[in-house]
Structure 1
Amino acid sequence: MATIIHQTDKRSGITYAYESVSYWDKEKKQSRAKRTLIGRVDQETGEIIPTDGRGKKSKDLEGPLKPGPVLTKHTARTFYGATYLLDAIGEKLGITDDLKKCFPKDYRQMLSIAYYLILEDSNPLYRFEKWGSLHKHPYGKDITSQCSSELFASITEEAKNDFFRLQGKRRAEKEYWAYDITSVSSYSESLRQVQYGLNKENDRLPQINLAMVFGEVSNLPFCYRKLAGNIPDSKTIKNLLADFNILGYPKVKLVMDRGFYSEKNINALYKDHLKFLMSAKMSSSLIKSALDPIYNDFRSFENYSEKYELYYRSVQSDWHYSQDRPNKGDTVEDKRRIYIHYYFNIDKAAEDEKRFDKNLIALRRELESGKKVPEHESQYKKYFDTKTTPKRGTKAMIKEDVVRAAKRYYGYFALITNETMDAITALEIYRNKDLVEKAFGNLKERLNMRRTLVSSEQSLDGKLFVEFIALIYLSYIKKQMQDTNLFKEYTIQGVLDKLDVIECFEESHQKLRLGEMLEEQIALYNNIGIDPPASL
């Protein structure tokens, strides 16, 4: 007698239906069973979809069927235009292949969650069920909150590093990599790395910090690290360089803001023979001493950039390099060549001076009214001489020479590098670093990471990784839209919405059929660098 048996493939998660027929084996003198594959079980409806495991009609099903279960057809009409776009981007950038190698069992779920985060723009993950039922996506089934939590907890550090390594090999080798850190506030009290620190959004909640590396030419993120919320930017370079060595990228070019400017960091970059471009602190003795000889002639017409509306000059100087050698118990000292690019912006100088003068007025008012602020005591002593008489009270006189020295470098900023380039090239490379800050904005706003609510370390790590995957897609779309001037007419969400309405129709043993497309939609695919979809 024939019975129907269901069996789930642990690798793919697909449940198959078999027809099992019992018979007596005369040689072994025991009851045996012969199984014949009859189809795949639809997880939502329980219907059996005929297949032999390769998408072809099974030979066992040829001819008249024996009495048994009635096989039903699978039909579905779903939205496909936007998820097709993400499928194609994933194939183009190697995201899908790299995830499949690193997460062979779970990569489809990870992609579907990433697609949802991109297309639903800040909607919480518990709304996935409705979205998933309306869209064609890699996993093809619902992902419950419990399933997503289990998925996040299963993502290991080793697998993440493997993915970073694979994606890194696809990046341009000669481009600068922008490095920056942002803070992500958290309501959780159980996460060890959630600490109070310098919150870059002036949020009063504790936080974690995210350090991220972006390619300046590709505009795509390469890797990231999660840090404790109280770790300052300048303390992270040593581990960043170690990470690069582990990932197999010992020779990179980094561009960083002045938060990373320190003697220790620059020495570490020289030690590892890495090229760097970094914003310098104007208060540094090296920066001021190299500027002073050219200060009076700095604002010459020949050194003015009409494009950027500023003056610029470059100076070659020496960096006093030192390296401690604990094994030998000594310190190596040497001079290394460094290039300093200076810039002066008249508008910025005026704004800085105006702000400074307003502050001086407020300080003098506090002194003369007797309503001093304890936190301002050092500024009182630095900028004012005071004289108090019984008749006139307290009078505060400005220290003109001190004020003049404070204003001397207003409007100036400097970039330092150990690679030969002109000042304008250095400025353009540095300004491209803004893409990291904008990517952080995408991460927090579009991907719902303004404040994290997860309560376990593993879930947080896993969720951050899937959101990082989504960020790669968003960064690619944003770069293509910038290059083709699409932002003049569309937002990112506007483009995705335009494509999201394109349908597809699926039926058992039939090719996927595509719904109607407008010329405007075809043009959007082409502008984003993706061939428009066609019926399979």
Structure 2
Amino acid sequence: MATIVYQKDNRSGITYAYESVSYWDKEKKQSRAKRTLIGRVDPHSGEIVPTDGRGRKEQSISTATKRGPVPSTQMARKFYGATYLFDAIGENLGIVQDLKQCFPELAQQILSIVYYLILEDNNPLYRFEKFDLLHKHPYGKNISSQRSSDIFASITEEAKSRFFRLQGKRRTDKEYWAYDITSISSYSEGLRQVQYGRNKEGDPLAQLNLALVFGETSNLPFYYRKLAGNIPDAKTLTNLLADFATLGFSKVKLVMDRGFYSEANINALFKSHLKFLISAKMSLSFIRHELDGIYDRFRSFEHYNEKYELYCHTVQTEWNYTEHRPYKGDTITEPRRLYIHYYYNIDKAAEDEKAFDRKLIGLLKELESGRPIPEHESQYKKYFEVKTTPKRGARVTVKEEVVAKAKRYYGYFALVTNETMDAVTALELYRNKDVVEKAFGNLKERLNMRRTLVSSEQSLDGKLFVEFVALIYLSYIKKKMQDVGLFKTYTMQGVLDKLDVIECFETPGEELRVGEILEKQKEIYFSLGIEPPSSL
């Protein structure tokens, strides 16, 4: 049986590949091996470059490539069920085609790292060799830790943009795209965009921010952008819109939380002729003004929604659109149609009111004790009047009107949009944006991105891209499992483990043979929209 043996020449540093054939030596009565030099191993691609036997490359000979299954070159027995699933998903979503078009020399290696990140969650890349020995994967060879760093550094911005453009065109243009930002802590102090900012998880580390765009219908990500860790969310939207224009996405619908709300952002969205749905703070004057007009009749039974246990009401109003035109030296102002969807949660209102009353009681006790806390001085002045007389001492009274005004908007929240829809539809669209937050959880937990350990900008950019590609696979599997109710029986890890035990057998000169597949395993494949591999 012939096998491939690798041997490094310590003098030249070149690794050579030999075909080793075992045979029985009758005279010495022992097993022997005959080796034939095949070629040298390219240190970058890992490919075997043919030689003439003396270390020189052969003259290239034009040969026609035969299409179809590639016969095995060595005998092996490996796990195949889960990686076959990824192969099929990659073909269905066009990931394989798009990667090959954008990264013709790296596509297989990127896919193999993606498979490793999904199956070996939380494991560092230096353990890839074990994965390679046990699993069939696109690249089919070991990828060392240094080689993975080289791959990350080779991923260019131009190639990434092409991939985003190709993947974006595969998404439906009718769905809303959820946009959100998360922070990723880093130990790498040398990275320029790693800054101290408002860390959402309380880590005492510098961070960088990651902006992610997700399709609400497909539940698949198609774009991300790395940001400095100290940039507020609202400051990122105009650059996102510029990226969309560069990528050729003109019919965009965005859904965002209130961290992205600002007058400048709303004007920018109108200017770009994009549809949007965004949460707005109840403290905004125009939000309160429009609500005051319907306040007294808001909590009537015809506005109550039983499904969400909320009172809902929609108001059509106008936005004072403003655009500065430096090239003409003027500013145009015109009204644009805007809808405000209001919601009232009576339970939330009661909880907020009780919490506020407990706060007032605490402040009152501090004042009456004669030991006020300096940090609370502004709140004392806002909610209480303190009168001091020689006989009675300090007398504290509550400013009832101020307290009533503070409680007036408890339980209310608002969504703002420029697209015609009812309040319930808007609420469902907004709640679906949690696919982004769940995706952030997958990135940080399963894909081991909670804290970055890379030390160079290029490696970080490349690793983020590969993690992003892995996120597409995870998001697809999760969506399919939710659609068919697989989560009632399995966790995502349980599904992957169930399939990962399916083996395949490679024999030199023969096509790949797949081992036994149980009916439950076939059911999982069909549930995920994948045809099971053929087995004997």
The two structures have a TM-score, normalised by structure 2, of: 0.88
Residue correspondence of structure 1 range 48-87 to structure 2 within 5 A: 54=66, 74-87=74-87
Aligned residues of 2:324 and 2:332 also touching (Cα < 8 A): yes
Hey, what does 2:219 align to over in structure 1? 219
The CA deviation at 1:367 is: 3.1
Q: 1:14 maps to which residue?
A: 47
What is the CA distance between 1:250 and its match in structure 2?
2.2
1:379/1:107 Cα in 2 relative to 1: closer, same or farther (>3 Å)? same
Cα distance in 1 for residues equivalent to 2:528 and 2:57? 55
- 1:13 Cα shift? 4.4
1:198 aligns with 2:174: no
**Aligned-pair CA distance for 1:251:** 2.3
Structure 2 counterpart SS, 1:178: strand
Of stretches 76-85 and 507-516 in structure 1, the one that deviates more from structure 2 is 507-516
Residue 439 of structure 1: aligned partner? 439
Structure-2 residue corresponding to 1:414: 414
**Which letter does structure 1 place at the counterpart of 2:499?**
L
Q: Percent identity between the aligned chains? A: 71
**What are the residue-to-residue correspondences of 1:92-103 with 2, within 5 Å?**
92-103=92-103
CA root-mean-square deviation:
2.5
- Could you say what secondary structure the match of 1:445 adopts? helix
**1:145 CA displacement:** 1.1
SS in structure 2 of the partner of residue 296 of structure 1 = helix
Partner of 1:185: helix, strand, or coil?
A: strand
Question: Could you tell me whether the CA contact under 8 Å between 2:125 and 2:145 is conserved in 1?
Answer: yes
SS in 2 for 1:219: coil
Q: CA deviation at 1:151?
A: 1.1
* Structure 2 residue 283 is the aligned partner of structure 1 residue 283: yes
Q: How many Å apart are 1:286 and its aligned residue?
A: 1.2
Shift in Å at residue 380 of structure 1?
A: 2.1
Quote the residue 2:318 is aligned against.
318
Which consecutive unaligned segments of at least 5 residues does structure 1 have? 22-31, 38-50, 57-71
CA distance in 2, matches of 1:375, 1:117: 49
CA distance in 1, matches of 2:330, 2:266: 19
Query: Relative to structure 2, which stretch is displaced further, 72-81 or 337-346?
Result: 72-81
CA distance in 1, matches of 2:453, 2:228: 16
Per-residue Cα deviation, 1:35-68 (whole angstroms, up to 9, x for no partner)? 799xxxxxxxxxxxxx997599xxxxxxxxxxxx
- Matched with 1:524 is 524
1:191, CA displacement in angstroms? Answer: 1.1
Conserved 8 A contact 1:185-1:203? yes
Q: Give the distance between the partners of 2:402 and 2:523, measured in 1 at CA.
A: 61
Q: How many residues align?
A: 497
Contact 1:190–1:455 (CA under 8 A) maintained in structure 2: yes
Counterpart CA distance in 2 for 1:103 and 1:215 is 24
Deviation per CA, 1:392-443: give whole Å up to 9, x if none.
Answer: 6544322111111011111111111101011111111111001001101111
Cα shift readout 1:128-154 (whole Å, capped 9, x = no counterpart): 111121000111111111111111111
Which residue in the other structure is 1:383 paired with?
383
TM-superposed CA distance for 1:73, in Å, is 6.5
Query: 2:254, 2:92 → 1: CA distance?
Result: 26
| 1:515/1:285 CA distance change after superposition, 3 Å | same
Aligned to 2:14: none
The yes-or-no answer on 1:152 pairing with 2:147 is: no
CA displacement at 1:124 relative to structure 2 = 1.7
> How far apart, in 2, do the equivalents of 1:34 and 1:258 lie?
64
- Residue 487 (structure 2) aligns with: 487
Change (3 A) 1:373 1:224: farther
Rounded Cα–Cα distance in structure 2 between residues aligned with 1:533 and 1:236: 45
For 1:186 and 1:370, the matched residues in 2 are separated by 47
CA distances 1:45-94 after superposition (whole Å, capped 9, x unpaired): xxxxxx997599xxxxxxxxxxxxxxx97100000000000010000000
Checking the alignment, whether the CA contact within 8 Å between 1:128 and 1:143 is kept in structure 2 is yes
- Output one character per residue of 1:439-487: Cα deviation in whole Å (capped at 9) or x when no partner: 0111111001111121211111111111000000000001001100111
Stretches (4+) displaced over 6 A: 9-12, 32-37
**One-letter code of the match for 1:483?**
D
| Local SS of the residue matching 1:297 | helix
In 1, distance between residues paired with 2:417 and 2:198?
A: 27
Q: Partner of 1:228 in structure 2?
A: 228
For structure 2, list consecutive stretches of 5 or more residues without a partner in the other structure. 1-35
Is contact 1:19-1:36 (8 Å) kept? no
Indicate the larger mover: 472-481 or 297-306.
Answer: 297-306
Aligned equivalents of 2:393 and 2:496: distance in 1?
68
1:245–1:335: structure 2 CA closer, same or farther, 3 Å change rule?
Answer: same
Q: How far apart in 2 are the matches of 1:212 and 1:514?
A: 38
Question: Which residue identity lines up with residue 187 of structure 1 in the other structure?
Answer: Y
Q: Indicate how the Cα distance of structure 1 residues 280 and 81 shifts in structure 2: closer, same or farther if over 3 A, else same.
A: same
Alignment correspondent of 1:138: 138
The 2-side partners of 1:274 and 1:179 are apart by 14
Q: Is the 8 A contact 1:386 1:396 kept in 2?
A: yes
Distance 1:402 1:222, change over 3 A: same
How far apart in 2 are the matches of 1:20 and 1:53?
25
Contact kept, 8 Å, 2:51 with 2:58, in 1: the verdict is no
Letter in 2 for 1:282: M
Partner in structure 1 of residue 237 of structure 2: 237
Structure 1 residue 168 displacement after superposition: 0.4
Equivalent pair of 1:220/1:472 in contact (CA under 8 Å): yes
Q: Distance in 2 between matches of 1:353 and 1:14?
A: 69
Distance (Å, rounded) in 1 between the aligned partners of 2:337 and 2:57: 80
Does residue 205 of structure 2 align to residue 172 of structure 1?
Answer: no
Distance 1:447 1:375 in 2: 43
The CA distance in 2 between the partners of 1:209 and 1:163, in whole Å, is: 21
8 A Cα contact 1:443 1:471, kept in partner:
yes
| Cα offset, 1:376, TM superposition | 2.9
Q: Which amino acid aligns with 1:6?
A: G
1:502 matched residue in structure 2: 502
Q: What residue is the counterpart of 1:463 in the other structure? A: 463
The residue type equivalent to 1:120 in the other structure is E
Structure 2 counterpart SS, 1:333: strand
TM-score by length of 1: 0.88
TM-aligned CA deviation for residue 10 of structure 1: 9.4
- Show the counterpart of 2:361: 361
Partners of 2:308 and 2:351 in 1: CA distance: 17
Gap change, CA 1:130 and 1:393, over 3 Å in 2 = farther
Match of 1:350 in 2: 350
Contact 1:19 1:35 (8 Å CA) reproduced = no
